[in-house]
Amino acid sequence: MTPAAPAGGRPAVILFSGGLDSATVLALALGEGWKVHALTFSYGQRHTVEVERARDMIARHPVARHAVADIDLRIFGRSALTSDEIPVPAARPAGEIAAGAPSTYVPARNTIFLSYALAWAEVIGARDLFIGVNALDYSGYPDCRPEFIAAFEALANVATRAGAEERARFTVHAPLIGMRKHEIIALGMSLGVDYGATTSCYDPDTHGRACGRCEACGLRREGFRLAGVADPTTYRP
Amino acid sequence: MTPAAPAGGRPAVILFSGGLDSATVLALALGEGWKVHALTFSYGQRHTVEVERARDMIARHPVARHAVADIDLRIFGRSALTSDEIPVPAARPAGEIAAGAPSTYVPARNTIFLSYALAWAEVIGARDLFIGVNALDYSGYPDCRPEFIAAFEALANVATRAGAEERARFTVHAPLIGMRKHEIIALGMSLGVDYGATTSCYDPDTHGRACGRCEACGLRREGFRLAGVADPTTYRP
């Protein structure tokens, strides 16, 4: 049974992929008393099973509403996250991660995600968006940096009726942006996040089991190790 | 037969709805020698016939590629442009248009449209986006103003690998932003735009015939009158 949404609380839109980071952000926002509107994207090659797992996780939390937006970025061409044709690369050494955007980079992905979140926020009268980006472990992604978050906030305040007419200020909360993966895990454990139900893998199988060798799996494994927490991830054989 | 795309020219992404404004922008961009990648959105209640008309128009121009992105903003709730449940309002007096965003305002629509355009631009190595917004006739829309265009440009330059790593500068061209409708029509006539093939109406019938009474029809009619050009629009009986 879905827990009832909290009666009070200001509305907020939370980008929720069902991954480790966004599950932590969800727990944080709920803990702070926000009336959570969770937004999940189904896009490109992402397995239906991942979206179903996201739905299952959301169903166990007292959110006001969960929306799943279907977008197909494959109309523009290829990327390891959106095309079935390109193999997912294995984890890279930390130095290489810092050197530039990896091949799993999806052009303008977080811009598109936040645009949808902004639309929903305006419809429900919310002024707060939450996104689980992380500038340290994913320094190669331009749209995971503080400058990106600040630029999107500035855009939100001129792009919307709320910003233009009511002088309402939008805030893009990126509470994990300066944290390392093991710090995120430690925070999430203190909030009761069930990480065994989260998916981070770039290349899960049709049962949602992680590959254990892509960059996301590598960072996640290392995070649990450094946090001193048993890794609850189900890896495929 | 589709005319061949021009051999040279830098690539650009053009938002193309099939309406009067975007048809003019398309003609301008082609005239300037850009290698045009036209992007049309199919969303909410917009009739399939409108998208088909956009496809037909594009097929008569030498564009490099035309993509149609399917997005469903109805997952977030209602607006006269995206919900079948709300009647389209009749044209308002000019003073009222200036007074605020009309009920046909779609939250964050141009932000979402430009986000997709940015993604495509990055995939094809383009640094130029074209959008047919107009700040005068549609002063009520926050995302048709110069400050919105400037904020999106700033965002594009931090949101992308191209902007972050190559210090490439994105430009959002909004050539019609300071023009009145009759000036746009005069410009388009000089470029050979076939306005009879364009659709502006918020409430066309299933044959794509304009209603003749919504705000978009009102502005368009008045534009042809002031431009001294016979209105080629097909209105329904």
Residue B47 pLDDT class (50, 70, 90 cuts): low
The mean per-residue pLDDT over the stretch A41-52 comes to 76
Cα gap B235→B211, rounded to integer Å = 6
Which residues of B are less than 8 Å from A155 in CB distance?
111, 148, 151-152, 154-155
Which chain B residue's Cα is nearest to A70? B71
For chain A, counts of helices (H) and of strands (E): 8, 5
Look at B165 and A100 and tell me if their CB atoms are within 8 Å. Answer: yes
Give one DSSP letter per residue of A83-120, joined into a string: -SSSPPPBP--HHHHHTS--TT--TTHHHHHHHHHHHH
Report the pLDDT value the prediction gives residue B84, as an integer from 0 to 100: 42
The mean pLDDT value for A47-62 works out to 88
Sequence-distant (6+) residues with CB within 8 A of A223 are A20, A180, A181, A182, A184, A185
- Cβ-nearest to A76 among B105, B108, B119: B119
Give chain B's mean pLDDT: 84
Round to the nearest angstrom and report the end-to-end CA distance of chain A: 32
- Among A3-7, A72-76, A150-154, B220-224, name the one with the lowest average pLDDT: A3-7
Nearest to A23 by CA among A4, A7, A36: A36
- β strands within B126-229, DSSP E: 128-130, 171-173
Nearest to B147 among A124, A142, A158 (CB): A158
* Shortest distance, CA B99 to any CA of chain A (angstroms): 10
> Which chain B residue is nearest to residue A115, measuring alpha carbons?
B112
Q: Identify whether the C-beta of residue A209 lies closer than 8 Å to the C-beta of residue A235.
A: yes
B174: chain A residues, CB-CB within 8 Å: none
Q: What is the pLDDT of residue B216?
A: 84
Q: Do A111 and B105 touch (CB under 8 A)?
A: no
Instruction: State the average pLDDT over residues A62-88.
Output: 70
CB within 8 Å: A119 and B76: yes
Read off the tokens for B137: 């006739």
Q: Is the pLDDT of residue B195 over 50?
A: yes
Cβ distance A195 to A27 under 8 Å?
A: no
Q: Is pLDDT of A131 > 50?
A: yes
CA triple A160-A164-A165, angle to 5 deg: 115
More confident residue, B230 or B52: B230
Does the distance separating the beta carbons of A152 and B164 come in below 8 Å? no
pLDDT digits (tens, 9 = 90+) for A170-223: 999 999 999 999 999 999 999 999 999 998 887 888 777 899 998 889 989 999
Taking the CA of residue A228 and the nearest CA in chain B, the distance in Å comes to: 34
Q: Tens digit of pLDDT for each residue in B5-36?
A: 454 699 999 999 999 999 999 999 999 999 99
Contacts of A40 in chain B (CB under 8 A): none
Burial of B167 (0-12, 13-18, 19+ CB in 10 A): exposed
Give the pLDDT confidence of B136-187 residue by residue, as tens digits.
776 678 999 999 999 999 999 999 988 887 777 999 999 999 999 999 999 9
CB-CB under 8 Å, A155 with B148: yes
Contact (CB, 8 A) for A178 and A55:
no
Question: CATH classification of A11-227, choosing from 3.40.50.300, 3.40.50.620, 3.40.50.970, 3.40.30.10?
Answer: 3.40.50.620
* B101/A67 touch (CB, cutoff 8 Å), yes or no: no
Question: A137-180 pLDDT, tens per residue?
Answer: 766 789 999 999 999 999 999 999 888 877 779 999 999 999 99
Return the pLDDT at B98.
42
CB contact under 8 A, A165 and B100: yes
Edge-to-edge strand list for the sheet holding B171-173:
B65-71, B35-43, B11-15, B128-130, B171-173
From chain A, the residues in CB contact with B102 under 8 A are none
Q: If you average pLDDT over every residue of chain A, what do you get?
A: 84
Residues from chain B contacting residue A147 (CB–CB below 8 Å): 158
Interface test with B, best of A68, A70, A111, A147 (most B CBs within 10 A): A111
Show contacts of A215-222: CB within 8 Å, 24+ apart: A215/A89, A215/A90, A215/A91, A215/A92, A215/A97, A215/A102, A215/A104, A216/A19, A217/A91, A218/A90, A218/A91, A219/A91, A219/A137, A219/A181, A220/A20, A220/A181, A222/A181, A222/A182
pLDDT for residue B97: 43
Output the CA–CA distances (angstroms, integers) from residue A100 to A180, B61, B80, in the order listed.
Answer: 18, 38, 43
Is the per-residue pLDDT at B232 higher than 60? yes
pLDDT of A84 > 60? The answer is no
Task: Please state whether the predicted TM-score (pTM) of the whole model is above 0.90.
Answer: no
Cβ distance of A151 and B148 shorter than 8 Å: no
What angle (nearest 5°) sits at the alpha carbon of residue B220, between those of residues B217 and B223? 150
User: pLDDT category, B91, cuts 50, 70, 90?
Assistant: low
Q: Judging by beta carbons within 10 Å of its beta carbon (0-12, 13-18, 19+), is residue B6 exposed, middle or buried?
A: middle
Q: What is the pLDDT of residues B171-181, one digit of tens each?
A: 999 999 999 99
Residue B224 φ/ψ, nearest 5 degrees: -65, -40
Per-residue pLDDT reduced to its tens digit, B201-229 = 888 887 778 999 988 899 899 999 999 99
Provide the pLDDT for residue A164.
81
Q: Do B122 and A111 touch (CB under 8 A)?
A: no
Query: Using the beta-carbon criterion (under 8 Å), do A101 and B161 form an inter-chain contact?
Result: yes
Among candidates A69, A75, A151 on the partner chain, residue whose Cβ is nearest the Cβ of B75? A69
Residue B197 has pLDDT above 60, yes or no: yes
Distance from CA of B237 to the nearest CA of A (A): 35
